[in-house]
Structure 1
Amino acid sequence: MKATWNGEVIAESDDTVVVEGNHYFPMDALKREFTTFSNHRTTCPWKGQAHYFSLLVHGDMNPDAVWYYPEPSEAAANIKDRVAFWKGVQVSE
């Protein structure tokens, strides 16, 4: 699977976990040169607290487009150390 935004591959891996229709990529598949800090947080009732990265590609910012659960609940343990995408990031084979 491949995640792309603004003409760049943000992450690529043959090892994704699908939860609620979202592909979670291994954290080490994320190309960190395209990420920047975000202090945004949300809470999922069954997965726990999500943390975010923003994307910065070719001078364009996509705030909070990458999320992950640093300490997921036991029910969501399979997405620990994984990232998922939204806000216009295309995930495809």
Structure 2
Amino acid sequence: MIKVMFNNTLIAETNNCIAVEGNYYFPLEDVMIKYLGKSDYHTVCPWKGDGSYYNLKAEGKVVENAAWYYPEPKEEAKKIKNYIAFDKKVFNISEE
């Protein structure tokens, strides 16, 4: 089981992560999406495609661009469609 915590708030928990480039990608259904709001920030990865971001809203705090996903990943990254990754500098990500 892999968990994502922000202070004392559980943000995601799953046994179905996909590891890509040192980051865990969590299935959307295992993420507490109520703590995430869409960001206007976007990036481009040469092999994954266009990345979109979420802002974290929990415990009275907002952390911009704390998580990301690829809404239409390129063919090489299709396995992470409908998955979300979290910034390790913001969240405590642990394996149990």
Common fold: TM-score over 0.5: yes
Q: Secondary structure at the match of 2:10?
A: strand
Amino acid at match of 1:36: G
Give the corresponding residue for 1:88: 90
Give the corresponding residue for 1:71: 72
Deviation at 1:55, TM superposition (A): 0.4
Give the RMSD, CA atoms, in angstroms.
0.9
Q: How many residues align?
A: 93
Q: Secondary structure at the match of 1:10?
A: strand
Flag as ranges the 4+ runs of structure 1 deviating above 6 A. Answer: none
Gaps of 5+ in 2: none
Amino acid at match of 2:94: S
Deviation at 1:39, TM superposition (A): 1.1
- Separation in 2 of the partners of 1:28 and 1:37? 17
Identity among equivalent positions (%) equals 41
- Give the structure-1-normalised TM-score: 0.95
